[in-house]
Amino acid sequence: MTTIRKGLLICAFGAAAVLASQGLRLIPESSPVERGAAAAISYGCIDCHGNPEPGFPDDANLSCTTIGTNSIHSRYDGQCSDLLAYFEVVRLKRTFKIRAESPNQNRLLRGERLARQYNCFQCHGELGQGGFRNAGALKGYIPGYFGKDFALLTRDASAQSVRTWIRLGIDPALLARPIEGAIAEYFIERQEVSMPIFGTLPDPTIQILADYVISLNQFGAMDAKAIRAYSRETQQTSPLGPVALLITTELIIE
């Protein structure tokens, strides 16, 4: 790291210290899925239902008015919508093999197949809905495919930046920024988990993965309704865009 970049880094940390003194913290971004997973552990769902893969609810009509009403079952209170999102993403993962056999192999489904094949969700969370802890990283976690952190790292989710991250494990344009680049370089060198390099993949494969990541970014932090819409879209012959599908879907979750 050059002397100039070290100076910029010191200034940046000074600014961060000022913000922290005013009550502002570097808080990881979260999604309903991630919060629901934490709530499932807190409520002891796994203790009763067992491994979520085969054991959690598999009812596409679940809603906050149909679960937790049994006298021996915990009430979900304000966390119900987050739990529903978690249940939905578990169900989606469980049904992947069935969906993958669909004759409508659209680009979204092919992207999901590649993301599972190359373990993208192992770090960035199921459907990119929340990364896991990463010691040494700026916020101590791996960002999902949504929110301000993802936008900052990928130049507002640009296709070129996402492809570069997949191919090189970093976007050099990020490191080239005067202040953000110095901060990024400092933490990237020290974080426990780094982005894998997939530079040996064929360009068409990288393009499908990049398109898929950007599509998930357009969904944003997904609730149960959005996850169900996503599932329907993977089975469309000519898939609609995420926003259009969410507008036209008739799924209602109370």
Q: Domain map of the chain by residue range?
A: 105-222
Does the pLDDT of residue 13 top 70, yes or no? no
CB 153 within 8 A of CB 178: no
Q: Say what the pLDDT of residue 61 is.
A: 59
- Give residues with Cβ within 8 angstroms of 48, minimum separation 6: none
Q: Which two tokens stand for residue 101?
A: 């056999």
- Give the per-residue pLDDT at 25: 53
Cα angle value 32/223/103 (rounded, 5°):
125
Please tell me the predicted confidence (pLDDT) of residue 120. Answer: 97
Please report the pLDDT score of residue 133 as a whole number: 92
Using the predicted structure, report yes or no on whether residue 63 has a pLDDT greater than 70: no
- In whole angstroms, what is the distance from residue 186 CA to residue 189 CA? 6
pLDDT of residue 62: 61
Q: What is the mean pLDDT of residues 120-142?
A: 93
Let me know the angle formed at the C-alpha of 228 by 215 and 217, rounded to the nearest 5 degrees: 20
**Reported pTM:** 0.80
- Report percent pLDDT > 70 for the chain: 71
Flag whether pLDDT at 48 surpasses 80.
Answer: no
Predicted pLDDT of residue 27: 87
Q: Which residues contact 130 (CB under 8 A, 6 or more apart)?
A: 29, 30, 31, 33, 34, 124, 144
| CA-CA-CA-CA dihedral for 207, 208, 209, 210, to nearest 10 | 50
Give pLDDT, residue 20: 42
In the prediction, which pLDDT does 220 show?
96
Confidence of residue 161 (pLDDT cuts 50, 70, 90): very high
- Tokens representing 161 are 């930046």
Locate 94 and state its tokens.
């469980």
Q: What pLDDT score was predicted for residue 239?
A: 46
What pLDDT is stored for residue 208 in this prediction? 96
Positive/negative CA dihedral, 142, 90, 111, 202 = positive
The per-residue pLDDT for 134 is 95
Burial class (CB in 10 A: 0-12, 13-18, 19+), 114: middle
At residue 147, the 3 state secondary structure works out as helix
Q: How is residue 110 written in tokens?
A: 């092919």
User: In this model, does residue 5 exceed pLDDT 70?
Assistant: no
More confident residue, 51 or 91: 91
Say how far apart CA 123 and CA 142 lie, in whole Å. Answer: 7
Task: State the Cα–Cα distance between residues 52 and 134, nearest whole angstrom.
Answer: 24
Backbone angles phi, psi at 116, to 5 degrees: -75, -35
Query: What's the topology of domain 105-222?
Result: Cytochrome Bc1 Complex; Chain D, domain 2 (1.10.760)
Q: Burial letters for 168-207: b for 16+ Cβ neighbours within 10 Å, e otherwise?
A: eebbeebeeeeeebbbbbbebeebebebeebeebeeebbb
Asked whether residue 174 carries a pLDDT value surpassing 90, the answer given is yes
